[in-house]
Chains A and B, each alone.
Chain A
Amino acid sequence: MNVTQATRLVAEREIRVKLRDRTFLFGTLFFLLIAAAGTILPPLLSGGPDTVAVTQEAAGPLRDAGLDVRVVADDQAAEQAVRDGDVDAAVVSGPKVLAMDESPTDVVQALSSSPPVQLLDPDAVDPVVAFLVPFVFAFVFFITSQTFGLQIAQSVTEEKQTRIVEILVAAVPVRALLAGKVVAGAILAFAQIALIAVVAVLGMQIGDSGGLLSLLAPAIGWFVPFFLIGFVLLAAMWAAAGALANRQEDVAAVSTPVQLAVMLPFFAVIFLNDNATAMRVLSYLPFSSPTAMPLRLFTGDAAGWEPIVSLVLLVLAAGAFVIAGARVYEGSLLRTNGRTSLRTAWRERETIG
């Protein structure tokens, strides 16, 4: 049996066990519900035309604007309907628009004539969307790499804590154990995101915000390779942290540096996403490039070659971290007496591998 076959067997087991884990299944379901609710509900809630009370003679233009028109006898009845909350607004003679506490934009627009608008940069992004999209990208990468990374660490520690690791190491190369876990984590994380994305896209179709989708498509296309390679980089760190710990209780403490490596770029991208210089730097740093580079592509700041250079840097960094992670992993896997220091693990590689 070669390393590839062994890696596949290890990955298969990891995935099988995970797919039976209730916490994981409910977590995924929860994300799916949020994705569905987040895309379907807002148009529905804001949805429905404003209701407006108006006398018969003024009703025409409002009907043409698609508003829900209630015809009333006179201005007084119209005002009363607003006060009673039967309608959102009323149009009385003047013409004057009545409403309780919020200016009814739709009604005002129906009554006014706007000058023609010509967009010179039609791709320019709606400010709300421009605020939300960075957040979503950063959040997706943060949550998934945190969740699945922690699971890799816990799975490594479990094998150490239950001592099954010695049987495993005697049977297959240590590299295959490590690779199997990372591959399984990446597949699960990616599948979960893909599922959420499908639900979100369907939700956008139902909620009729399909226009956003075509804007997002190129950024999402780049997000996929960045995400996968960024995940592998972090997964190598998580696995090493898991191998240093001796019990599940220690995983949190040992993995603090890894958590920081996930969290700091997350906040940097969230808080600095309108600072072009900062984003340029972040889009090349291996830990933040998985979120920062797709974002710059989304906002149209990045030239065509930039994601390629950044991706190459990320691949190199991931390669280096996988090699270093594997060394720490091998150096600490069989040390079952207490926590292993990073230094010991690095210097004294015990196994043949």
Chain B
Amino acid sequence: MTRTLRLDGVDRSFGDRQVLRNVSFEVSAGRMTGFVGANGAGKTTTMRIILGVLAPDAGEVSWGGTTLTRQDRQRFGYMPEERGLYPKMTTREQVAYLGRLHGLDAAAARRSTDALLDRVGLGERGDDLLETLSLGNQQRAQIAAALVHDPEVLVLDEPFSGLDPLAVETVVAVLRERASAGAPVLFSSHQLDVVERLCDDLVIIGDGGIRAAGSRQQLRDSYTVPRFELVVEHDAGWVRDHPGVTVVELDGARVVFDLPAGTDEQPVLRAALARGAVRAFRPVSPSLTEIFREVTQ
């Protein structure tokens, strides 16, 4: 069963400030979709609308082709950006409680809670009050809280912010596991390197509108001019004068340059060989940061 989560023409304003403009994108089943944008670009609002915490002014969110209902959303797992749990309850009790709020019966909630707490390494501390746990352990409890009902879709707002490195690894492992089990996973982050490492698909939002969306490779191909790195024996300064070349970086014998789209790069290599030994010549994939900078400008 592969179902797609889809946003179609979603608008949202707060007072007279429009926060989302015609936001449309898809989160495919079994894929990790990274959702990136500057602070205030509309990531949290979009996610809140997906979860039904906020209502859109226009547009709709659909799941497997039909408009999302509260029943569907009960099967979603959500980790809000600003998060917390009840300080005066034990972890086991409140994770099970959240499981029940998502529709599990008491026995299933208990089973799932026990399994998850063991999974995130909280089995021993499960019966302590949440407020007595270390910050790292509280974050693990938060992860368990988002997953207790074995959600069909995961929506995580900045899941890695404030996590210690061990907890990051736990979250990454869990997300991959859910994605490979066929769930669409949407997560936002402002740590572009983390997104680059994890995501299959990418949605870039800027100033309330979707700037780019697609698979990571597709975005790389379409949003950047061809870029190459050349390392020669001596000074590479001559590349500046080669027709069509825009030098991005020059450091003695090493140069990084762009060519206009569709230009053959081999003449540059031949020119370099004509001048002496060539130590390296390779295409450079643009980093997510560069794509991001380009599409949000």
Show the binding face of A for B, using Cβ within 8 Å: 1, 6, 9-10, 13, 17, 158-159, 161-164, 166-173, 334, 336, 348, 350-352
B104 CB to closest chain A CB, in angstroms? 10
B182 at the interface (CB under 8 A from A): no
B7 at the interface (CB under 8 A from A): no
A36 to B49, CA, bound (A): 55
Looking at B74-82, B214-222, B229-237, B249-257, the stretch in contact with chain A turns out to be B74-82
A162 to B98, CA, bound (A): 15
Please name the residue on chain A nearest to B102 by beta carbon. A171
The answer on a CB contact under 8 Å between A351 and B55 is yes
B244 at the interface (CB under 8 A from A): no
The answer on a CB contact under 8 Å between B53 and A169 is yes
The answer on a CB contact under 8 Å between A17 and B89 is yes
The answer on a CB contact under 8 Å between A173 and B70 is yes
The answer on a CB contact under 8 Å between A163 and B78 is no
The answer on a CB contact under 8 Å between B86 and A170 is no
B145 at the interface (CB under 8 A from A): yes
A-B contact pairs, 11 of them (CB 8 A): A10-B101, A13-B97, A158-B86, A164-B83, A164-B84, A168-B101, A170-B51, A170-B53, A171-B98, A334-B53, A351-B53
A13 to B97, CA, bound (A): 8
CB contacts (< 8 Å) of A167 on chain B: these are: 78, 80, 83, 98, 145-146
The answer on a CB contact under 8 Å between B54 and A350 is yes
The answer on a CB contact under 8 Å between A350 and B97 is no
Closest CB pairs A-B (n = 3)? A162-B84, A166-B80, A163-B84
CB contacts (< 8 Å) of A162 on chain B: these are: 84-87
The answer on a CB contact under 8 Å between B101 and A6 is yes
The answer on a CB contact under 8 Å between A351 and B54 is yes
Please name the residue on chain A nearest to B54 by beta carbon. A350
A166 to B102, CA, bound (A): 13
- Which of A9, A13, A336, A348 touches B82 (beta carbons < 8 Å)? A336
Total number of B residues with any Cβ neighbor in A under 8 Å:
30
B111 at the interface (CB under 8 A from A): no
Given the interface contacts A163-B82, A164-B86, A166-B82, does A352 sit within 8 Å of B55 by beta carbon?
Answer: yes
Interface string of B85-106 (1 = CB under 8 A from A): 1111100000001101111000
The answer on a CB contact under 8 Å between A9 and B102 is no
A276 to B97, CA, bound (A): 52
A91 CB to closest chain B CB, in angstroms? 67
B76 CB to closest chain A CB, in angstroms? 7
CB contacts (< 8 Å) of B70 on chain A: these are: 173
A160 to B111, CA, bound (A): 28
Please name the residue on chain B nearest to A1 by beta carbon. B103
CB contacts (< 8 Å) of A13 on chain B: these are: 97
CB contacts (< 8 Å) of B100 on chain A: these are: 9
Please name the residue on chain A nearest to B73 by beta carbon. A170
B162 at the interface (CB under 8 A from A): no
CB contacts (< 8 Å) of B48 on chain A: these are: 166, 334
The answer on a CB contact under 8 Å between B78 and A170 is yes
B40 at the interface (CB under 8 A from A): no
B191 CB to closest chain A CB, in angstroms? 21
Given the interface contacts A17-B89, A166-B53, does A171 sit within 8 Å of B101 by beta carbon?
Answer: yes
A181 CB to closest chain B CB, in angstroms? 14
A163 to B157, CA, bound (A): 13
The answer on a CB contact under 8 Å between A171 and B82 is no
CB contacts (< 8 Å) of B14 on chain A: these are: 348
